[in-house]
Amino acid sequence: MIRPMKKIFVLGATGFVGTHVCEKLARQGWAITVVTRRRMNAQAIQHLPRLTVLELNVHDEVALAGALAGHDAVVNLVAILHGTQAEFERVHVALPKKLAHACVKTGVKQLVHVSALGADALQPELAPSMYLRTKGEGEAVLIQAATGAGADLAAHDGFDLSILRPSVIFGEQDKFLNLFASLQRILPVLPLAGAHVRFQPVWVEDVASAVVRCLDGVANSLSSPRIIEAFGPKVFTLKQLAQLSAQLSGIADGYGRPVISLPDWAGRLQATLMGLAPGAPMMSTDNLDSMKVDNVASFKHSGLEVLGITPAALVPIAQGYLGR
């Protein structure tokens, strides 16, 4: 159904999931405002119809509220995987709080927030890593604001809130299966920390569709604030995913390289050294802490089926892009 000129404000639009979300919104006729620090970051999506790129520091609450005014809905996809406690809190907690304030101030009545499987808004302090703890704290901030219960907000009617909790996301240009395949092209053996942790990978197109269907009101059968878990149909260990990425890439005639499971102490040493390397780390000790719990469905909340989405299987899709 075409919805011309309904206005959507997207944070994190230039990332892996964000580009897919914007493409789907454009096909549905939304007018899209993409905010980014640098206009050049939006090169992959700026050709889309009815899309406006706005250079903005989203952490500036006054500027954020000013830019948000006049929009019908907002999507928050901003997240980090690595950083200090202060950096995690700034992105995963303080930014959602500023966004909630901006929604209340400007009268925006709908917000879709992409969190993470394993986050817990009720008891975020019990999570094993900074990443998961702050993800849960950010959810709690938004839930309080959406229900009009935020202690630092004047009385208001709240807003419609959908929280999506995806497992690890795969798809063309992902930094997960592609990373494993790249490593096995250059390493004779792949030493792997957290090898036995379980994941339930979900396709990026399914996550993007879930965002758009939440905006379209498909999830309104669930009362707001609603939490929806996004996960694929099959559970894999991290070791199985590493092996699979090499096999689907045709490495070593389709057999892949040997994957060696590291004991906890060696895995932590590996993560520490990777975290000290220049540039964005492939792994950090906080990533390893996140893997103290399996990244699979809890079944405490609805899955993608409530949005009419049947999650896609990993193998045929991953073979399509890894095989190239």
Tens digit of pLDDT for each residue in 286-314?
999 999 999 999 999 999 999 999 999 99
Q: What is the CATH number of domain 170-200+234-295+310-322?
A: 3.90.25
Strands (E), 107-225: 110-114, 160-166, 169-170, 190-192, 198-199, 202-203
Structure tokens at 177: 């299966």
* Arithmetic mean of pLDDT, 153-176: 88
Give residue 295's pLDDT: 96
Output phi, psi for 231, to 5 deg. -145, 155
Instruction: State the burial class of residue 320 (Cβ atoms within 10 Å of its Cβ: 0-12, 13-18, 19+).
Output: exposed
Instruction: Specify the 3-state DSSP secondary structure of 261.
Output: strand
The whole-chain average pLDDT of the chain stands at: 93
Q: Which residue has the tokens 């927030």?
A: 113
Mean pLDDT of 41-46: 92
Split at pLDDT 50, 70, 90, the class of 161 is very high
Which of 198, 167, 115 has the alpha carbon at shortest distance from 312?
167
Given this structure, which CATH class describes domain 7-168+202-230? alpha beta
Find where tokens 């993560």 sit: 271
pLDDT of residue 173: 92
Residue 281 is predicted with a pLDDT of 78
CB 74 within 8 Å of CB 58: no
Per-residue confidence (pLDDT) for residue 256, from 0 to 100: 87
Q: How far is the CA of 6 from the CAs of 3, 51, 70, 225, in angstroms?
A: 6, 12, 10, 22
Specify the domain boundaries for CATH 3.40.50.720 within the chain.
Answer: 7-168+202-230
pLDDT(2) > 60: no
4 pLDDT above the threshold of 70: no
Distance from C-alpha of 66 to C-alpha of 114, rounded to nearest angstrom: 23
Torsion of CA 193, 198, 203, 208, to 10 degrees: -90
What residue type is 196 in one-letter code? H
The whole-number average pLDDT for the span 131-135 is 98
The answer to whether 80 touches 100, Cβ cutoff 8 Å, is: no
- Domain ranges in the chain with CATH number 3.90.25: 170-200+234-295+310-322
